[in-house]
Structure 1
Amino acid sequence: MCGIIGIIGQRDIAPDLFDGLKRLEYRGYDSAGICTLHDGDLKRRRAEGKLRNLGEKLQADPLPGQLGIAHTRWATHGAPTVDNAHPHATDHVALVHNGIIENFKPLREELVAEGRTFLSETDSEVVTHLISREVENGASPEEALKAVLPRLRGAFALAIIFKSHPDMMIGARLGSPLVVGHGEDGEMYLGSDALALAGLTQKICYLEEGDWTVVTRDGATVYDKDNQQVEREVSTSGASAASVEKGNYRHFMLKEIYEQPIVVAQTLQSYLRPLEEQVALPDMEFDLSTVKRVTIVACGTSSYVGMVGKYWIEQLARVSVEVDVASEYRYRDPVIEDDHLALFISQSGETADTLAALRHCKDAGATTAGIINVPTSTMAREADLLMPTHAGPEIGVASTKAFTCQLAVMAAFATNLARAKGRLTPEAEKDIVHHLSEVPAAMQQALEHDEEIEAMAGTIAKARDVLYLGRGPDYPLALEGALKLKEISYIHAEGYASGEMKHGPIALIDENVPLIVIAPSGPLFEKTVSNMHEAQARGALVVLISDAEGLKEAGDGLLATIEMPKVHPLIAPLVYAIPVQLLAYHVAVAKGTDVDQPRNLAKSVTVE
């Protein structure tokens, strides 16, 4: 997901724009740029690759100016080159854009036929020329936006400055978030999220779908999709610039792995009522007891939370659950009925596929709920029931603490649904509250094995392929482990239900393929270890993650073991997520890859 920041300031603002881009690095990007207006001229500095490359250009050739916009780009149309980097500019207008303009080709052809010259391959430059054409024909900036926005199809957040208006920015959003920041002494801001502006202001106005805004030193005037002036609440964001500092950790990912006992505890505090020995959810305007089917929709790591949730909900509440990948959900024309609850999981609350699926369900009359980390996000505002996580900003592209906080909320939801359906005795709910309360301490114990995991990482790092096995709720964890390894180490990895090994994947096993087995002791342990022994007999290098009881029963001949605390099966996925994450992290470090910003990946995917 690209990042936007715009500033109307009282001094040269290029350094502040650059600092804002640094706060947006976590989103993932492959080029960056800044444009300021100074003495009637639009001036740009752009660079491909990391922000340090842009920083070197700014140091060699500074940008003066009290009005400016900046952008980190993740390539969609056109390669990550300087020419394709934002901001895009004409003689009259400069613009940055998050999202995708789906109908850019016919618009571009129209503009080329008029004799306009394009300097990039991007869809975004089309918008720059469309607005510029209106201005050249005598339109005001506001009139230009009114003419151009209805012509754009797709998803966008735009920040625009005009050569003839040194104290104005215009912002617009459709399907991609944008916020207005209110500063002191006539300073105003635009940003793709509150974190982008965290070092500048805490006073934030969240634009709603279809809104556009004229920002001047006197404030911001907001218009809705029908060009009617509207009021949008200004709130305190709570975002902290300190949250994007690594502290003493080598990488954000490692910092966020170590934050999990704290943020999971914070999340659980919102849902557990220890004195009543109950699990509570936020107030809702529908009756959970009427729900007869649950559909969980998410992407990537969040979809594995949904798979774990399927086990929990069906076991505890005896309600049928289906789990769908958001990018496929709408296109299979799903059956949606009145007694159907659609549950959506997203860290950002802006994931394009998941948001589109939520709207599809709402249009079909379904009740919707969301497990979301950003309570001001689009999904959080549009869902009928918001169940927030409290992970805080997650900077590393590969999700860690958001994943475990989502699992914590999913456990709370499954428990609450079970009680609403009359499937949970007070004694059973008391036990669940007790087990969930144990999670932070168990996670802290899991972190104590960091050094031994690091010690084995070098062996795994030499592999070309790695397989992960798990059974029951640990099967989604195997999928998550494989995804983490792929994301940050670029090693091919696959996760399988352990019983499926002999239905094909066992053909891949030899002495060069490490096998990571996730197997807490308990009712599923014996069968999982039996599958593991089959792989060992064929030369597999096995790393077993289990508790002391499980490790003792598993026998010898293992490459390595990772001992976890003995925990109840309900909370095992939260605790066992930590060694899975640490293993991927240390393998990536051993390989020398970019852990926090792996190639080709963005933190939040806001285009389909």
Structure 2
Amino acid sequence: MCGIVGYIGNRDAAPIILGGLRRLEYRGYDSAGICTFDGGGVQIRRCEGKLANLERLVADEPVRGAIGIGHTRWATHGRPAENNAHPHKAGPVVLVHNGIIENHPELRNALREDGHRFRSETDTEVIAHLIEQTMRGGHDFEAAVRRVLRKLKGAYALCIVCESEPDVLIAARKGSPLVVGLGTGEFFVASDIPAMLEHTRQVVYLDDEELAVFRQGFVSFSTVGGNLVEKRARQIDWSPLAAEKGGYRHFMLKEIHEQPTALRDTIAGTLTEGEHAVCLDDLRLSDRELASFERIYIIACGTSWHAAMVGKYLIEKHCRIPVEVDIASEFRYRNPVITQETLLIAISQSGETADTLGALREGRARGARGIAICNVVGSSMDREADGIIFTHAGPEIGVASTKAFVTQLAALYLFTIRLSQTLDTIDRGERRTMIADLVRLPSLVEEVLGLGSLIEEIAHDLLKARDVLYLARGINYPIALEGALKLKEISYIHAEGYAAGEMKHGPIALIDEGVPVVMLVTRDHSYEKVLANMEEVIARGGRVIGLCTEGDKEVRSRATATIELPAAGPDLMPILLAVPLQLLAYHVAVLKGTDVDQPRNLAKSVTVE
């Protein structure tokens, strides 16, 4: 949450910063601001609303200079308003911030007693005043920053400049991500990689309680305490074009259509010659270690939590190990039973999700081994987990996750096969069939994407609904939850996913002709049961939108509308079902005229608790 961009070099900073913020606006769009040096002093422009408002303001009132910082905000402390927009200034100090300073009330009160006056409701402004006060006490800019950081409790990613040292930019990180881009005679700082892809693919990730101090043509890395740190640059293989819309109306639609490629890239390199086994080189756990686990926890938030639920079905079915799925924010505070025979699987698109990262740390501190499934090489989870499975989805800009979700499902499927190999819980023939199904999957997703026109027509049936139910059983139940979440996120229609067998225990009271019911009906062991649930809906006047296997006459004869999908193995049907539900939510949102890529109150990469 919140997008930060900083630049120091020999070019005009403003276009670089605004361009970077445009690529990070998915992280926050309540307000925006920029600060640059023009030699004599700082120039600050801030405004409420989306980045376009700031771009118009800067066009009318230009800012100049070869050093600067910028910010797009997702409000935590203080309503969306110009006075709460970043950057914040106190004396010569100007800064932008992502994160939450938990002890800001007592710090603010102490500063007020010393005569400081605050212009905003934010926790961020407190940091600027603390640095300014410390400099007045005789410390130079860098020393003052270090002293202040040791007083802060909570999370921060900071970019800080000072009028009295106009050739210096300081970046600091604790709990919130910050990436440094290395150019030729210039440096970039950002919350996320897409902001700098146009300029460099050489990046350095700051770790917790580390600083980067930039002077023209030079950067040093150190701990908050002042110890120098050697950092290794990483090469990012994402193309700058991957962060552009590429002719699509919205990023979300583009990313839905990128799913076949994302799946192929995630699968690539994981299959041994002859495609009869799975090899996960970055897992970094031996067969002996994998065989020692007696329990698995999968922890995640939001859409990743739905992927985790599918993972539970897969692992328990094929590996016969008990699996618990936890919402990461709950796991951290419920004192879970963890031993050295526990494996933790943390799932996060960004690898920086605050609650999931905290849960991973908590579990490992209690003796568990921890692996991560994530999309970002060099992220905190990549660096801190015992092993990792990368989802090669490329940058996902739309706030509502699509391709990151299906590649997480593919990663869990790959892990299931890898674990079953070690435990010898399925025979070679079944494993070969599972792998063959996975290899076919991207082509099947392409077939589903060909149903876009049909799904757009069906979307009209949901347009005026106030409530929508999504029903499924077994491994498809989490996809009902995910389909409902997608509709809620971007169309603002209330929707709920339920296990179809639970409908009679409450939700059936909602069903009438005004409540569409989306039912996921695939040819698995629960097929007859879901058909019976469909009859119960129809008997109460409900309108059924049925997602089923191609040629299913039973569903076609009962449902008001059907979306027929190509046949796949039952373990991979969740991926095929997810795609039309994404498209359905997308087309409803477009018909309603909502902001598909930047839905209200939401932001990408939740880096605060």
Letter of the aligned partner of 1:295 in structure 2? Answer: Y
> 2: distance between equivalents of 1:320 and 1:557?
37
Letter of the aligned partner of 2:213 in structure 1? Answer: V
Q: 2:545 aligns with which of 525, 543, 546?
A: 543
> 2: distance between equivalents of 1:47 and 1:242?
29
Alpha-carbon distance, 1:274 to partner: 5.0
Match of 2:246 in 1: 247
Secondary structure in structure 2 of the residue aligned to 1:534: helix
Alpha-carbon distance, 1:473 to partner: 0.7
Match of 1:197 in 2: 196
Secondary structure in structure 2 of the residue aligned to 1:24: helix
Is residue 222 of structure 1 aligned with residue 215 of structure 2?
no
Is the contact between residue 95 and residue 159 of structure 2 (CA under 8 Å) also seen in structure 1?
A: yes
Is the contact between residue 92 and residue 135 of structure 1 (CA under 8 Å) also seen in structure 2?
A: no
Is the contact between residue 455 and residue 563 of structure 2 (CA under 8 Å) also seen in structure 1?
A: yes
> 2: distance between equivalents of 1:55 and 1:401?
30
Is the contact between residue 146 and residue 225 of structure 2 (CA under 8 Å) also seen in structure 1?
A: no
Is residue 144 of structure 1 aligned with residue 144 of structure 2?
yes
Match of 1:556 in 2: 557
> 2: distance between equivalents of 1:488 and 1:536?
28
1:142-541 paired onto structure 2 within 5 Å: 142-184=142-184, 186-273=185-272, 275-282=274-281, 283-286=283-286, 287-541=289-543
Residue deviations 1:529-563 (CA, integer Å, cap 9, x gap): 1101100110001000001243x022534221101
Secondary structure in structure 2 of the residue aligned to 1:358: helix
Residue deviations 1:147-192 (CA, integer Å, cap 9, x gap): 10110000100000010112110010000111222222x3222211
Secondary structure in structure 2 of the residue aligned to 1:468: strand
Is the contact between residue 101 and residue 124 of structure 1 (CA under 8 Å) also seen in structure 2?
A: yes
Letter of the aligned partner of 1:241 in structure 2? Answer: P
Alpha-carbon distance, 1:40 to partner: 2.2
Letter of the aligned partner of 1:93 in structure 2? Answer: V
Match of 2:38 in 1: 38
Secondary structure in structure 2 of the residue aligned to 1:62: coil
Match of 2:568 in 1: 567
Is the contact between residue 171 and residue 212 of structure 2 (CA under 8 Å) also seen in structure 1?
A: yes
Q: Quick one: percent identity of the two aligned structures?
A: 51
Secondary structure in structure 1 of the residue aligned to 2:46: strand
Match of 2:25 in 1: 25
Match of 2:583 in 1: 582
Letter of the aligned partner of 2:549 in structure 1? Answer: D
Letter of the aligned partner of 1:202 in structure 2? Answer: R
- My pick for the range that moved more, 285-294 or 83-92, is 285-294
Unaligned runs of 5+ in 1: none
Secondary structure in structure 1 of the residue aligned to 2:150: helix
Alpha-carbon distance, 1:291 to partner: 1.3
Is the contact between residue 211 and residue 224 of structure 1 (CA under 8 Å) also seen in structure 2?
A: yes
Secondary structure in structure 1 of the residue aligned to 2:36: strand
> 2: distance between equivalents of 1:296 and 1:274?
30
Match of 2:606 in 1: 605
> 2: distance between equivalents of 1:558 and 1:601?
34
Letter of the aligned partner of 1:166 in structure 2? Answer: P
Letter of the aligned partner of 1:220 in structure 2? Answer: V
Report the TM-score when normalising by structure 1. 0.98
- My pick for the range that moved more, 317-326 or 197-206, is 197-206
- My pick for the range that moved more, 336-345 or 263-272, is 263-272
Is the contact between residue 514 and residue 542 of structure 2 (CA under 8 Å) also seen in structure 1?
A: yes
Alpha-carbon distance, 1:390 to partner: 0.2
Match of 2:91 in 1: 91
Match of 1:56 in 2: 56
> 2: distance between equivalents of 1:270 and 1:386?
14
- My pick for the range that moved more, 266-275 or 450-459, is 266-275
Is the contact between residue 349 and residue 379 of structure 1 (CA under 8 Å) also seen in structure 2?
A: yes
Is residue 128 of structure 1 aligned with residue 128 of structure 2?
yes
Secondary structure in structure 1 of the residue aligned to 2:99: strand
Alpha-carbon distance, 1:137 to partner: 2.5
> 1: distance between equivalents of 2:608 and 2:550?
45
Residue deviations 1:382-432 (CA, integer Å, cap 9, x gap): 010111100000000000000000000000111111121120211111111
Is residue 8 of structure 1 aligned with residue 4 of structure 2?
no
> 1: distance between equivalents of 2:179 and 2:534?
51
Residue deviations 1:18-46 (CA, integer Å, cap 9, x gap): 11111111223211100011232111111
Is residue 596 of structure 1 aligned with residue 597 of structure 2?
yes
> 1: distance between equivalents of 2:390 and 2:494?
33
> 2: distance between equivalents of 1:155 and 1:239?
28
- My pick for the range that moved more, 435-444 or 417-426, is 417-426
Is the contact between residue 202 and residue 237 of structure 1 (CA under 8 Å) also seen in structure 2?
A: yes
Letter of the aligned partner of 1:267 in structure 2? Answer: T
- My pick for the range that moved more, 241-250 or 267-276, is 267-276
Is the contact between residue 467 and residue 494 of structure 1 (CA under 8 Å) also seen in structure 2?
A: yes
> 2: distance between equivalents of 1:72 and 1:410?
34
Letter of the aligned partner of 1:233 in structure 2? Answer: R
Match of 1:102 in 2: 102
Letter of the aligned partner of 2:465 in structure 1? Answer: A
> 1: distance between equivalents of 2:436 and 2:186?
50
Alpha-carbon distance, 1:276 to partner: 4.4
> 1: distance between equivalents of 2:235 and 2:310?
35
Letter of the aligned partner of 1:448 in structure 2? Answer: G
- My pick for the range that moved more, 61-70 or 38-47, is 38-47
- My pick for the range that moved more, 555-564 or 488-497, is 555-564
> 2: distance between equivalents of 1:539 and 1:268?
44
Alpha-carbon RMSD = 1.2
> 1: distance between equivalents of 2:239 and 2:150?
36
Is the contact between residue 9 and residue 66 of structure 2 (CA under 8 Å) also seen in structure 1?
A: yes
> 1: distance between equivalents of 2:584 and 2:416?
29
- My pick for the range that moved more, 132-141 or 571-580, is 132-141
Secondary structure in structure 2 of the residue aligned to 1:213: strand
Alpha-carbon distance, 1:272 to partner: 2.3
Residue deviations 1:270-319 (CA, integer Å, cap 9, x gap): 32235141122225244211111110000000001110011110110000
Is the contact between residue 5 and residue 20 of structure 1 (CA under 8 Å) also seen in structure 2?
A: yes
Alpha-carbon distance, 1:515 to partner: 0.2
Residue deviations 1:477-518 (CA, integer Å, cap 9, x gap): 000000000000000000001111111110100000000001
Letter of the aligned partner of 1:234 in structure 2? Answer: A
- My pick for the range that moved more, 416-425 or 260-269, is 416-425
Is the contact between residue 9 and residue 217 of structure 2 (CA under 8 Å) also seen in structure 1?
A: no
> 2: distance between equivalents of 1:73 and 1:80?
8
> 1: distance between equivalents of 2:568 and 2:223?
52
> 2: distance between equivalents of 1:555 and 1:64?
63
Aligned residues: 606
- My pick for the range that moved more, 315-324 or 268-277, is 268-277
Secondary structure in structure 2 of the residue aligned to 1:278: coil
Match of 1:72 in 2: 72
Is the contact between residue 306 and residue 323 of structure 1 (CA under 8 Å) also seen in structure 2?
A: yes
> 2: distance between equivalents of 1:238 and 1:344?
24
Report the TM-score when normalising by structure 2. 0.98
